Amino acid sequence: MFRTFSRLALAAFAALSLAAPATAAETATPWSLAVHGGAGVLERGELTPEKDKAYRAGLNAALEAGAKVLKAGGSSLDAVEAAVRVLEDNPLFNAGKGAVFTAEGRNELDAAIMDGATLKAGAVAGVTRTRNPISLARAVMEKSPHVLLAREGADQFSKEKGLEQAPPEYFYTEERWKQLLAWRKDHQAALDPTHLFGTVGAVAMDQAGHIAAATSTGGMTGKRWARIGDSPIIGAGTYARDGVCAVSATGSGEYFIRESAARQVCDRVAWKGETIQQAADGTMASITKIGGDGGLIAIDGQGHVAFGMNDLGMYRGAISSAAPTPRTAIYADEPSPR
């Protein structure tokens, strides 16, 4: 009997030794990252091939920056900040360098970041001199007792904390200025359908299982009276809670605020037992019902990514330990990366 057992054990061992070795992706500690670069009424052919390629390259660069952090065992908070900084530095996107102009011809920048592990958050609104507003939002979270700072106070805090400053001309781009001039002639003319809701964002899960979210925007062309949208509002455009979900939204911010969109996604997961995709779709349906437009990206506590939108497109992408090559999509009829 002992000899029979030994032969069976040896046979099993031989079979295991002949099996194909596990791939690096299969054995790696799971991590995941998704980004967005805003939503719009995009149909195929709206973008030139060159513009399409440039947007995808920008998304890829952001994904690679965040993935570099996660692959090395870095935190989800570091990853979303790194990804968003890349998008803020890219003039194609309405955040940081590519921010749109207000009615008065200024660039007023909003951003928020949230750590799902601690529920700590930081946000800024209407800042005018910080090169990377997402890093200023993080400084508010980590170096002040507050969550949200605005306008002159946020600018002063940025200088005091030593963040990189930029003169007004740094944020100037010819395309955004032309949009403002068009808006001044006809307040609908500047609503470029290929990038109607200009915001950037990222959500991530790191190897420790912690999640985070970050969002940054220049707001709306021609905005007045120090208008603030959903991006820097915790629970509206940005939210993260470990084990549940992290969200970054883009769209008609007033509607996302009314629906507490980012928090709603997480509540649907936590309270209703919905999958992250069901929660994203359900939240976008609630926004559609009251007249809002846009989209959002989300990630659950296991690193599953979801994209929800009610427009014809959203600049979006994802990368993970299981699929370590960046994947991007633009059009609504284009399968979203997973």
Output the DSSP codes for 202-225: EEEE-TTS-EEEEEEE---TT--T
* 159 assigned to some structural domain: yes
d(CA 25, CA 302): 16
Pairing of strands 148-150, 121-127: parallel
d(CA 5, CA 8): 5
CATH number for the domain harbouring residue 47:
3.60.20.30
Q: What is the pLDDT of residues 89-100, one digit of tens each?
A: 999 999 999 999
The pLDDT profile of the chain, 338 residues, written as one tens digit per residue, is: 333 333 333 333 233 333 334 444 444 689 999 999 998 756 777 788 999 999 999 999 999 999 999 999 999 999 999 999 999 999 999 999 999 999 899 999 999 999 999 999 999 999 999 999 999 999 999 999 999 999 999 999 999 999 999 999 999 999 889 888 888 887 654 555 555 568 999 999 999 999 999 999 999 888 889 999 999 999 999 999 999 999 999 988 999 999 999 999 999 999 999 999 999 999 999 999 999 999 999 999 999 999 999 877 899 999 999 999 999 999 988 878 87
* 40 assigned to some structural domain: yes
- Residue given tokens 């846009």 in the structure block: 294
Burial pattern 15-29, b for ≥16 Cβ within 10 A else e, equals: eeeeeeeeeeeeeee
Predicted TM-score (pTM) above 0.75: yes
Output the DSSP codes for 17-65: HHSPPPPHHHHSPP-EEEEEEEEE---TTSS-HHHHHHHHHHHHHHHHH
* 242 assigned to some structural domain: yes
* 20 assigned to some structural domain: no
* 77 assigned to some structural domain: yes
Output the pLDDT for position 41: 58
Q: What is the pLDDT of residues 225-267, one digit of tens each?
A: 999 999 999 999 999 999 999 999 998 899 999 999 999 999 9
* 21 assigned to some structural domain: no
SS3 328: strand
Say how many domains are in the chain. 1
Q: Using an 8 Å Cβ cutoff, are 298 and 281 in contact?
A: no
Bridge partners of residue 307, in order along the sequence: 297
d(CA 100, CA 125): 14
Q: Is 199 a catalytic residue?
A: yes
Output the pLDDT for position 11: 34
d(CA 320, CA 325): 8
Bridge partners of residue 125, in order along the sequence: 150
* 300 assigned to some structural domain: yes
Output the pLDDT for position 93: 94
Question: What distance lies between CA 170 and its chain's CA centroid?
Answer: 23
d(CA 126, CA 195): 21
* 275 assigned to some structural domain: yes
Q: Rounded to whole angstroms, what are the CA distances from 232 to 184, 236, 257, 338?
A: 26, 8, 10, 26
| Residues of the domain holding 207 | 26-331
Q: Rounded to whole angstroms, what are the CA distances from 285 to 272, 275, 309, 334?
A: 16, 15, 9, 20
- Identify the active-site residue in 128, 194, 199, 238: 199
